[in-house]
Structure 1
């Protein structure tokens, strides 16, 4: 019995097991290499952000050693390149806020309406046609939008408002809003299509119309995604440069009236960066102080967007 049992016991296939272990080791090694590459790609973006923050902060510290923070925040004039220099950043902030407000007044309603139509009413063929057109609109260079605002939109607005000057925040803001519409519409439409169909079917079962379902069921359920698209639109408007540089006038002017010309933070950075200011001068350092202010404004809106997403995600 013992000899029979010993002869019946199968002999392990050692070469096959070794080959399998070798393949597993190679697969684990390749996965570790891929993981290292992915980590390096993610680290590049983080290190780039840290590098930008370091440059802005280090140069801004040198600027604030010469200009007080109180004067920087409260002065009502911005003439850093004049003999009688003033460094009131509120002049540039006002132009940035006004132009962004005009742009968002166009982009948010129009983008939301387009998103509701594409998500709830448009057929598959219309959606397949409209999405590439929106993406094409978002891919047009901003300098083209700037000259469109200056040469087309401004003369049309002057027929309605004869006192409107040749450069104005209104014209630049309107065109900038049209430019932002694809970003808001695309992200909002994706957020609405992610809403479960069961919510729509429950609303239809209660006798609601498609419009009532879209406005009172789908939009509230997708509001976290809508808020994210709105915050992206705000960041895009605040950081826009060429449209404002071409159509808004680049005149430092503390105003909250969109029908006046003014300079924004980004247009000032472009204007001064193209000059021949010596490195380390106070005028050169104003670029970084203005850039740091713009970074803080964008960071504030991003934090607000994350808070809104978290709040409405918990509610729904």
Structure 2
């Protein structure tokens, strides 16, 4: 139903645009030159006043509707129903009521739950219709207020631009606040983890076995949270991937830009960029079913033992996956170098190879480094290929033919199953996520430093 409401608001905004445009033209008797702003600005102004407040109301309503109905539902239960229940048990009771209301009945629910489910259905229906009525009323109010301002002297362009500026500022604030929320959530939970586990053990320990008892009576190991093997596996696989992707991506970009015929370039570049659109699970299947067995057979031929799951298989396939990132960025950066720099190099007697290595690549270095750093971030953050091709066992080794694991794989593994955030096992995922965030931030800072340094030299 929410989709239909949003489509309805968009349709009303489109009608308001047409209405505002025609009203502006009618206000001057069809002589548009007498309007301060073009009719399209009048239509956009009216459409914004109709659509934006209504959409904001719907979003706020949806955010508050669930908590409000849950509170009313708990308040309407018979006296003493929730006495002695903790927050988790109350949440389970609400989940049972909602399941019964949705028709998912397991066993025989109590009469209290059945009555609460009926009230929940009734209140949900009332809330939906009230939201539709409120959004429609607000849209009509916006239409009335905006249409009254339409006149030959009205500065509709300024009003529309102010609304657009406000939207851009709001989007920027949402992005900033989202980033701050991510950082704070990671930081708070990571600090809770470091209250239970020493940071020295986490950053310098050589044994990663985070299997500790979560439930009473569960038999596990004592738990070890030395994350060095996890970090080492991440760096090893990322290094192998970059060794595969960087030369292939960079050389393919040089060929397509400087040597290939335009028709060849127009054909090969889109095909190469299709690699970026292939799902990572497909790459994982390719690594498990094709690359890993081929490596193992090759190792048997030359007498080198290669594990069924190895860092080399995962890194090689991951390198194939990130080739388009380096190739596309490098291609665009090299193509953007002014032709005058090429002509000047040739005029000084340089060969084509010397022009590429001594003029084009240094001038395009900011774009090339941007592609390489993006590829590194992509390699560090990849999960599916590593799970399928490299395994989940944390092994401290520099041998690329042995199984290793990465930070992202361990985050997924730690949060599967019982996700009660009150033990070091699950909190360790947030510590790993914080480290991953810091590493990605450092890569971005390094990229900005390189771009600033070489941009000053070549602009």
Tell me the TM-score normalised to structure 1 length. Answer: 0.91
Which residue of structure 2 lines up, in the alignment, with residue 198 of structure 1? Answer: 340
Which residue of structure 2 lines up, in the alignment, with residue 7 of structure 1? Answer: none
2: CA distance, partners of 1:16 / 1:303? 52
1:109 equivalent in alignment to 2:109: no
Which residue of structure 1 lines up, in the alignment, with residue 36 of structure 2? Answer: 20
Which residue of structure 2 lines up, in the alignment, with residue 137 of structure 1? Answer: 275
Aligned 8 A contact 1:72 1:88 in 2: yes
Structure 1 residue 19, shift from structure 2 partner: 4.1
Which residue of structure 2 lines up, in the alignment, with residue 178 of structure 1? Answer: 320
Structure 1 residue 278, shift from structure 2 partner: 2.1
2: CA distance, partners of 1:258 / 1:277? 32
2:296 counterpart (151, 158, 177)? 158
2: CA distance, partners of 1:250 / 1:100? 16
Q: Higher mean Cα deviation, 257-266 or 37-46?
A: 37-46
Segments of 5+ residues of structure 2 without an aligned counterpart are: 1-30, 38-151, 213-220
Structure 1 residue 17, shift from structure 2 partner: 10
1:124 counterpart (255, 259, 262)? 262
Aligned 8 A contact 1:228 1:305 in 2: yes
1:98 counterpart (236, 255, 261)? 236
Q: Higher mean Cα deviation, 203-212 or 63-72?
A: 203-212
1:79 counterpart (197, 200, 209)? 209
Distance 1:254 1:122, change over 3 A: same
Q: Higher mean Cα deviation, 275-284 or 70-79?
A: 275-284
Distance 1:274 1:218, change over 3 A: same
**TM alignment of 1:229-268, pairs within 5 A:** 229-268=371-410
Deviations along 1:230-268, one digit per CA (max 9) or x if unpaired, are 111111111111100110011011112211101110011
Which residue of structure 2 lines up, in the alignment, with residue 10 of structure 1? Answer: none
Aligned 8 A contact 1:169 1:261 in 2: yes
Distance 1:140 1:23, change over 3 A: farther
Which residue of structure 1 lines up, in the alignment, with residue 188 of structure 2? Answer: 58
How many residues align structurally?
Answer: 302
Q: Higher mean Cα deviation, 24-33 or 37-46?
A: 37-46
Structure 1 residue 209, shift from structure 2 partner: 2.7
1: CA distance, partners of 2:153 / 2:231? 61
Tell me the TM-score normalised to structure 2 length. Answer: 0.63
Distance 1:20 1:250, change over 3 A: same
Structure 1 residue 147, shift from structure 2 partner: 1.1
Which residue of structure 2 lines up, in the alignment, with residue 313 of structure 1? Answer: 455
Structure 1 residue 272, shift from structure 2 partner: 2.0
1: CA distance, partners of 2:454 / 2:315? 29
Tell me which of the two structures has the higher relative contact order, counting C-alpha pairs closer than 8 angstroms and 6 or more residues apart.
1
Aligned 8 A contact 1:277 1:283 in 2: no
Deviations along 1:60-117, one digit per CA (max 9) or x if unpaired, are 0110111111111111001111432111111110000000000000111111001101
1: CA distance, partners of 2:153 / 2:253? 49
2:409 counterpart SS class:
helix
Aligned 8 A contact 1:154 1:166 in 2: yes
Structure 1 residue 227, shift from structure 2 partner: 1.2
2:422 counterpart SS class:
coil
Which residue of structure 2 lines up, in the alignment, with residue 285 of structure 1? Answer: 427
Q: Higher mean Cα deviation, 155-164 or 171-180?
A: 155-164
1: CA distance, partners of 2:422 / 2:222? 19
C-alpha RMSD of matched pairs (Å)? 1.8
Distance 1:209 1:16, change over 3 A: closer
Which residue of structure 2 lines up, in the alignment, with residue 9 of structure 1? Answer: none
Deviations along 1:153-193, one digit per CA (max 9) or x if unpaired, are 11111122221010000000000001000000000111111
The higher radius of gyration belongs to 2
Structure 1 residue 315, shift from structure 2 partner: 2.1
Structure 1 residue 302, shift from structure 2 partner: 1.2
Distance 1:261 1:17, change over 3 A: closer
Structure 1 stretches of 4+ moved >3 Å = 15-19, 21-24
Structure 1 residue 199, shift from structure 2 partner: 0.7
1: CA distance, partners of 2:452 / 2:239? 24
